[in-house]
Amino acid sequence: MSRRFKQLTCLLCLMAVLLKAHAQDPYENIIQINGVTMTADSLRAVPNVVVVVKGKNRGVESSDMGVFSIVAYKGDTLQFSQIGFRSKDYVIPKNLAGHYFSLIQLMTQDTFYLPETIIRPLPSREQFDYAFKHWSIPDDKYEIARRNTNALMLRALAYSLPRDGRESQAMYQNLQAQTATYYGQQKPMNIFNPLAWAEFFDAWKRGDFRNKNKFNTNSQ
């Protein structure tokens, strides 16, 4: 009986520990880090340093005085990066007490070596004059756009290029609209058009019909 009691007691203690660990408030792992970024050699403030929590889409940027503040979890890794300085990683200890921590991050300057570039003038003045006169420099985008939008160029393109699909469709729809206007009835004839009669009288006065008849008689 005592053996079973001991086993039951151990089981209850184990369950109590597990429940306590499971019921632990996740707020305990949150920590706010306030710090400043400085140079390692002269202890000057490094502004605009990007502080990012690795593996999470969260980060801040230090101020002009190098001061920053970020909220993370204990055990996260902070990455410090800035142009001209080497990137630094800082792992937040998991055994920190409390929810606030102060940090001074020293940044080491990084040196970039660019490839050597040598600029030489032309060998002689005569060759410079020849190159200035005869070298063909391609047009830039602004010159090409100005030439393509010229009025004469646009007019030539309008006469030479065929109609595209939109223009052909618009023309066909206009023809359909004109046909549908007189659907079921006969189209008006010019015999009732006073302008057509005026043009006929003007042609008759000029002798257009007499010339045509004369031409037909002479040809026969």
DSSP assignment of the chain, as one string? -HHHHHHHHHHHHHHHHHHHHHT--GGGGEEEEEEEEEETTT--B--S-EEEETTSS-EEE--TTSEEEEEEETT-EEEEE-TTB--EEEEPPTT--SSEEEEEEEE-B----PPP------S-HHHHHHHHHH--PPP-HHHHHHHHT-HHHHHHHHHHSPP-HHHHHHHHHHHHHHHHHTTTSPPPPGGG-HHHHHHHHHHHHHTHHHHHHHHHHHH-
pLDDT of residue 13: 63
pLDDT of residue 47: 93
pLDDT of residue 98: 85
pLDDT of residue 14: 58
Name 109's bridge partners: 85
Q: Would you give per-residue pLDDT tens digits along the chain (220 residues)?
A: 465 655 556 655 656 555 554 445 567 788 999 999 999 888 899 999 999 999 888 899 999 999 999 999 999 999 999 988 999 999 999 888 888 999 999 999 887 778 888 887 767 788 878 888 888 888 888 888 888 888 888 888 878 888 788 888 888 888 888 888 877 777 777 677 777 788 888 888 877 776 554 545 444 4
With a CB cutoff of 8 Å and minimum separation 6, the contacts of 215 are: none
Q: How many CB atoms lie within 10 A of CB 85?
A: 18
Pick among 2.60.40.1120, 3.30.750.24, 2.60.40.150, 3.30.1490.20: CATH of 26-107: 2.60.40.1120
Measured distance CA(178)–CA(183) in Å, rounded: 9
Q: Where are the domains of the chain?
A: 26-107
Name 71's bridge partners: 32
Taking the whole predicted model, whether its pTM rises above 0.85 is answered as no
